[in-house]
A and B are shown apart, each in its own frame.
Chain A
């Protein structure tokens, strides 16, 4: 990597990138004694084996004048786990939010490029956001349970979608399905590795759970809606090794039927659970996207090699 060109480009476009990452990056590249490294298109033109579920083409995101994602193109294959890694502030969460159009809710954000879900452009006019988000679920970076009971948190989505009827009217007309709801709650919590801890206090307020429990509750809440694509933003950041292992098992498990995209700061986690890995680097560019094995054992980019081996960021 160059000291001049790349660093200048970063300065010009990403004012917030004044972090330790870049200084480390500089040191790493000087010790590696390298010359200019340009991002080559073929490093990201990975063709996955399966069907493409989500196709992203030339995605640019600006927050006001801040260019947070630069021309990202990547195809996410169906029924697999895709890991997104990269230093803090490189645009991983921004990328995830483009896939279910949660960026629409941020006033300053503007998105260019196309995102296709099963070949349908999600950014075209007339897209039903409610329907899109039912199909593309999301677990946020910071846990955000509702101030309701644990049970209500999990069954919230299905109830509002009318998949489970629990209202007064349903109860009066005998259409309420308490057993179905109970089964759904139990299954979702079990998959999120939380059932054991909370099965005796499902009616307690979710805000009384610990941070790690809240994180798993949010996963369970997302699973209960049964989306096709699940976006997870650091789902294990507040978890101990045992719960982390359970979540990793869950992710691998989910890949049987779902398309999972997971952001993580743990290289080991990315290596363990994912089929393919995308590496974003500071400045909002996708540097390399390939089979996870390839990324961790023999990446094309020197910067990616530095990053995954811990010399960078």
Chain B
């Protein structure tokens, strides 16, 4: 067997071209990451790197990348490398480059002081040119030259210092100013995406394989940046909130662990002000809402998908539930204030908040449970029926267990939403800005039995109670002042606690789902 036929399946010989293209992909990735870091302020574009400012260094990198990418395309076009390009880079790429070049043209013309009509003219000419250069020539030229040229242009602007650390421009007609330290990272991000994609295509030898590699690089970079933003957000809140949250934490003493921020109220006497009442309030709020919404929602879903005739009625219910789920939370809050509060002692109370949030959670639980129940294969129902098992028993022992993972997903999503809700609590539950420890609801030991209806009462449920998001809101509107030592630190600690509580509920939900999935599949 000849070597040629072997390499068709196993490409083990890495050419210089591939190595260069791979290096360009890597360099683009680095530029992208640095751009992202500059955008969120982790590095400054004015910082010196190898004797020059970071923005100039990035410009040089973009310039080199742009030239390299154009070089890859030309080398392939001239037949120096073994590539399999298609006749055209395709309409999607052409439209994308048209948009990029149109924007570049308008911006450049604007910077040169040309009027509106002239700007649009320049943009149109450049955009049209980019379309032609992308769509008309063979793929290897069409997908490298426009991308490389973008990078060269951006690189030149940065290297020459046309746009740099001190740069700023007031936007005519808007009450806003662009600063160099956001524009430079944005330019770097865009240009490095373009060169990364282009170099990846060259690495794959264009054609189907090249497009595959190009798509991978694009997707990884974009997904990576989204994750980075998420992680950045959590890290930011954590960094700000940890000092407050950990204030006075210690081991030993009267209790095994001392964590005053979580176990104290915010009274004058407390040495460290804490969020205990609001924390307990939020936990009870979520538990109450889930206890109300899950049985009703799942029950309704069972009725709608197993018993009701599929038709106009179920269709109408579906539309109504979808509508309810998208109803703004303040409307639910108003409903609670106007309908529930008069029925529970005419004052803001924990139970009114629970029920209001329960009503908010209900549509999502209903929708997801219904989907999950409908997704249970009919074979299970047939098998059960053929064994002489009644419909209700079939639902209970086959259909619902198979639907639990889907139902849990719905509850997880819903809890994430309601745990952070402020508006409905504001209207139905109230609570103080800085509640003392004694204001914490004591639901468990609050139940009282009595000989006359309603036989069970629980004063804790009928009291105004604070919850974490509401307390944060109240604290901010009160101007971060009050009888606590360090309101800033306190507020951030509160925010972090809220984040952790929501994550904890997620963790419980995900563990539940994992448990039931395992039970179903192994």
Kindly identify, within residues 349 to 395 of chain B, every residue whose CB is under 8 Å from any CB belonging to chain A. Answer: 377, 379-390, 393
Flag B394-430 by CB within 8 Å of A: 1 or 0 each. Answer: 0001100110000000000000000000000000000
Kindly identify, within residues 114 to 160 of chain B, every residue whose CB is under 8 Å from any CB belonging to chain A. Answer: none
> B445 near A: Cβ within 8 Å?
no
Please determine whether B389 and A157 come into contact, CB atoms closer than 8 angstroms.
yes
Instruction: Tell me which of B379, B388, B520 contacts A205 (CB under 8 A).
Output: B520
Residues in chain B near residue A105, CB distance under 8 A: 381-382, 385
Residues in chain A near residue B521, CB distance under 8 A: 147, 205, 207
A160 with B387, Cβ < 8 A, contacts A140-B382, A144-B382 known: yes
Residues in chain A near residue B377, CB distance under 8 A: 144
Kindly identify, within residues 27 to 64 of chain A, every residue whose CB is under 8 Å from any CB belonging to chain B. Answer: none
Residues in chain A near residue B384, CB distance under 8 A: 146, 156, 160
Flag B226-253 by CB within 8 Å of A: 1 or 0 each. Answer: 0000000000000000000000000000
Interface centre among A130, A131, A145, A207 (most CB of B within 10 A): A130
Cα distance A220–B50 when bound, in Å? Answer: 77
> A113 near B: Cβ within 8 Å?
no
Instruction: Tell me which of B381, B383, B388, B402 contacts A130 (CB under 8 A).
Output: B388
Please determine whether A147 and B385 come into contact, CB atoms closer than 8 angstroms.
no
Residues in chain B near residue A135, CB distance under 8 A: 388
A160 with B379, Cβ < 8 A, contacts A204-B522, A205-B520, A205-B521 known: no
A102 with B386, Cβ < 8 A, contacts A144-B380, A146-B380 known: yes
List the A residue with the shortest CB-CB distance to B389. A160
Instruction: Tell me which of A100, A137, A138, A146 contacts B398 (CB under 8 A).
Output: A146
Cα distance A105–B398 when bound, in Å? Answer: 17
Please determine whether A144 and B383 come into contact, CB atoms closer than 8 angstroms.
yes
Cα distance A179–B383 when bound, in Å? Answer: 26
Instruction: Tell me which of A148, A160, A225 contacts B393 (CB under 8 A).
Output: A160
Shortest Cβ gap from B305 to chain A (Å): 15
> A221 near B: Cβ within 8 Å?
yes
Cα distance A205–B393 when bound, in Å? Answer: 20
> A81 near B: Cβ within 8 Å?
no
A222 with B522, Cβ < 8 A, contacts A144-B379, A146-B380 known: no
Please determine whether A133 and B388 come into contact, CB atoms closer than 8 angstroms.
yes
Kindly identify, within residues 332 to 357 of chain B, every residue whose CB is under 8 Å from any CB belonging to chain A. Answer: none
Instruction: Tell me which of B387, B390, B401, B402 contacts A225 (CB under 8 A).
Output: B387
Shortest Cβ gap from A105 to chain B (Å): 6
Cα distance A94–B195 when bound, in Å? Answer: 63
Please determine whether B387 and A133 come into contact, CB atoms closer than 8 angstroms.
yes
> A161 near B: Cβ within 8 Å?
yes
> A134 near B: Cβ within 8 Å?
yes
Residues in chain B near residue A205, CB distance under 8 A: 519-522
Q: Tell me how many residue pairs across A and B have CB atoms closer than 8 Å.
A: 75
Please determine whether A134 and B388 come into contact, CB atoms closer than 8 angstroms.
yes
Cα distance A253–B521 when bound, in Å? Answer: 34
Please determine whether B402 and A147 come into contact, CB atoms closer than 8 angstroms.
yes
Please determine whether A102 and B385 come into contact, CB atoms closer than 8 angstroms.
yes
Residues in chain A near residue B385, CB distance under 8 A: 102, 105, 129, 133
List the A residue with the shortest CB-CB distance to B390. A130
Cα distance A147–B398 when bound, in Å? Answer: 8
> A178 near B: Cβ within 8 Å?
no
Flag A110-152 by CB within 8 Å of B: 1 or 0 each. Answer: 0000000000000000000111111101101010111110000
Residues in chain A near residue B382, CB distance under 8 A: 102, 105, 140, 144
List the B residue with the shortest CB-CB distance to A149. B519
Please determine whether B383 and A146 come into contact, CB atoms closer than 8 angstroms.
yes
Report the count of interface residues on A (CB-CB < 8 A).
Answer: 32
Please determine whether A138 and B522 come into contact, CB atoms closer than 8 angstroms.
no
Cα distance A263–B254 when bound, in Å? Answer: 76
Residues in chain A near residue B387, CB distance under 8 A: 133-134, 137, 156-157, 160, 221-222, 225
Shortest Cβ gap from A200 to chain B (Å): 16
Instruction: Tell me which of B383, B402, B519 contacts A140 (CB under 8 A).
Output: B383
Shortest Cβ gap from A156 to chain B (Å): 7
Interface centre among B377, B385, B390, B519 (most CB of A within 10 A): B385
Cα distance A137–B386 when bound, in Å? Answer: 6
Cα distance A133–B380 when bound, in Å? Answer: 15
Residues in chain A near residue B397, CB distance under 8 A: 156, 160
Cα distance A245–B429 when bound, in Å? Answer: 72
Please determine whether A138 and B389 come into contact, CB atoms closer than 8 angstroms.
no
Cα distance A156–B385 when bound, in Å? Answer: 11
Shortest Cβ gap from B385 to chain A (Å): 6
Interface centre among A140, A146, A222 (most CB of B within 10 A): A146
Shortest Cβ gap from B306 to chain A (Å): 13
Please determine whether A100 and B386 come into contact, CB atoms closer than 8 angstroms.
yes
Cα distance A145–B390 when bound, in Å? Answer: 17
Instruction: Tell me which of A134, A208, A218 contacts B522 (CB under 8 A).
Output: A208
Flag B480-522 by CB within 8 Å of A: 1 or 0 each. Answer: 0000000000000000000000000000000000000001111
Instruction: Tell me which of B386, B393, B401, B522 contacts A133 (CB under 8 A).
Output: B386
List the B residue with the shortest CB-CB distance to A207. B521
List the B residue with the shortest CB-CB distance to A204. B522
Cα distance A222–B388 when bound, in Å? Answer: 10
Residues in chain B near residue A156, CB distance under 8 A: 384, 387, 389, 397
Residues in chain A near residue B390, CB distance under 8 A: 130, 160
Residues in chain B near residue A208, CB distance under 8 A: 522
Cα distance A100–B520 when bound, in Å? Answer: 29
Interface centre among B386, B397, B398, B522 (most CB of A within 10 A): B386
Please determine whether A131 and B380 come into contact, CB atoms closer than 8 angstroms.
no
Please determine whether B386 and A138 come into contact, CB atoms closer than 8 angstroms.
yes
Cα distance A138–B412 when bound, in Å? Answer: 40
List the A residue with the shortest CB-CB distance to B387. A157
Shortest Cβ gap from B468 to chain A (Å): 37
Shortest Cβ gap from B496 to chain A (Å): 40
Cα distance A208–B520 when bound, in Å? Answer: 10
Shortest Cβ gap from B295 to chain A (Å): 20
Residues in chain A near residue B389, CB distance under 8 A: 130, 156-157, 160-161
Cα distance A131–B389 when bound, in Å? Answer: 9
Cα distance A7–B402 when bound, in Å? Answer: 47
Residues in chain B near residue A207, CB distance under 8 A: 521
Residues in chain A near residue B379, CB distance under 8 A: 140, 142, 144
Cα distance A135–B388 when bound, in Å? Answer: 8
Residues in chain B near residue A221, CB distance under 8 A: 383, 387
A–B Cβ pairs within 8 angstroms, 13 of them:
A130-B389, A130-B390, A131-B388, A134-B388, A140-B379, A140-B382, A144-B377, A144-B382, A146-B380, A157-B389, A160-B397, A161-B389, A207-B521
For the complex with contacts A140-B386, A146-B384, 16 further pairs of A-B residues with Cβ separation under 8 Å are A130-B389, A130-B390, A133-B385, A137-B387, A137-B388, A144-B382, A145-B383, A146-B398, A156-B397, A157-B388, A161-B388, A205-B519, A207-B521, A208-B522, A222-B387, A225-B388
Closest 8 CB pairs of A and B: A134-B388, A144-B379, A133-B388, A157-B387, A138-B386, A147-B520, A160-B389, A144-B383
